[in-house]
Amino acid sequence: MLTVSALAPEDLRRRLAGPGIALHTGAYQTLVRSDIAQVADGLGLLYADYPLGEADGFSDFQVNLMHSRGLRRWWGRQVRFDHDGHAPFKPLPVEQAFPMFEWSMNWCVSSRAHDCLIIHAAVVERDGLAAILPAPPGSGKSTLCAALVSRGWRLLSDELTMVRLGDARIVPLPRPISLKNASIGVIRDYAPDMVFSRPVHDTNKGTVAHVKAPAASVARALETARPAWIVFPKYVAGAAPSLEAIPQARAFMHVAENAFNYSLLAHDGFDALGRLIGATRSFHFRYGALDDAMDVFANLERPPA
């Protein structure tokens, strides 16, 4: 199957500004259209390994990121996102077009993909077992996720953990890892071989940059994973690593609080989360150094087969 990398930069820009490209990200296909150079450049750099479908075929989502019209085409240029003709967000400065693309892709899935229980969490996998990292903003989730991926864990998702309703298996959605502010420099130092987008400043999250998902993770994007651990991370500078078990009923409540569509799914969400919790062990995890975190994750106790 053709990938984004097969398109020369000018061809990619032309297609995005015209019929669009049908981008495969795991189980979903998104028709992306944009007349903005930053979007084309970001896609060319960070989505090079992703398969392309037929632009005139069926897509699960339609994402348009276009210059705002009127005076904004020439002064204080902005990017406007619309999904299937609806614009759920206010326009942003055009310099934030690529982060807006990433946020819009997250929004499409978290607001529409209700065939899964969707947890606001990173999820990585090694040796067939997945570790889910739910965390509110600022807890170091994405930094930890990026570090684990740099050390060989498969990236299933940086932001949205998709728990399949029938069997609680994790459905991958590997996309670029979003880093903010100081974490950008931390991961640049920790994993100098990772590919970064150009940092974008003055967003509502501060400075953001995105890290390219490993090609191996993208290649296995249709391979579901068995969940084994739920780890609530908390970075505390200078802290010794500590892993504290959480009783399963309490872990259930914590995860429910971090799930976008738990209430919407009603009984199905309750069942899916119960299955997930029953299949996993949960922990609070404090750490102050990434190498310590790598050691702890490498030694997580494997569940019975």
Partner 1 sequence: MWRLKSGQSLQRHEFPDGEESVLYNALSGDTHLLGAAAIELLLCLQCGPADDAMLRDVLAAAMDGERDPDFDTQVAALLDQLSSFYLIESFSC
Which residues of this chain interact with partner 1, rule CB under 8 A?
247-250, 252-253, 256, 262-263, 266-267, 270, 274, 277-278
DSSP 210: E
Q: Which residue number, 186 or 256, has a Cβ lying nearer to partner 1?
A: 256
Task: Kindly state the tokens that stand for 286.
Answer: 């404090």
270 φ/ψ angles, rounded to the nearest 5 degrees: -60, -45
The answer to whether 79 and 91 have CB atoms below 8 angstroms apart is yes
DSSP 241: P
∠ at Cα 34 (30, 37), nearest 5°?
125
CB of 247 to partner 1, least distance (A): 4
DSSP 259: B
Nearest-angstrom CA–CA distance, 23 and 175? 11
The answer to whether 99 and 68 have CB atoms below 8 angstroms apart is no
Bridge partners of 246, per DSSP, are 282
∠ at Cα 65 (55, 182), nearest 5°?
120
Q: Which residue number, 71 or 249, has a Cβ lying nearer to partner 1?
A: 249
Q: Look-up: residue for tokens 């028709």?
A: 31
Q: Which residue number, 256 or 296, has a Cβ lying nearer to partner 1?
A: 256
The answer to whether 162 and 113 have CB atoms below 8 angstroms apart is yes
The residue type of 279 is A
CB of 166 to partner 1, least distance (A): 17
Q: Are strands 226-235 and 281-287 parallel, antiparallel or unpaired?
A: parallel
Q: Which residue number, 222 or 263, has a Cβ lying nearer to partner 1?
A: 263
Residue 103 buriedness (CB in 10 A; 0-12 / 13-18 / 19+): buried
CB of 279 to partner 1, least distance (A): 11
CB of 168 to partner 1, least distance (A): 12
Nearest-angstrom CA–CA distance, 196 and 178? 10
Q: Look-up: residue for tokens 């990434």?
A: 290
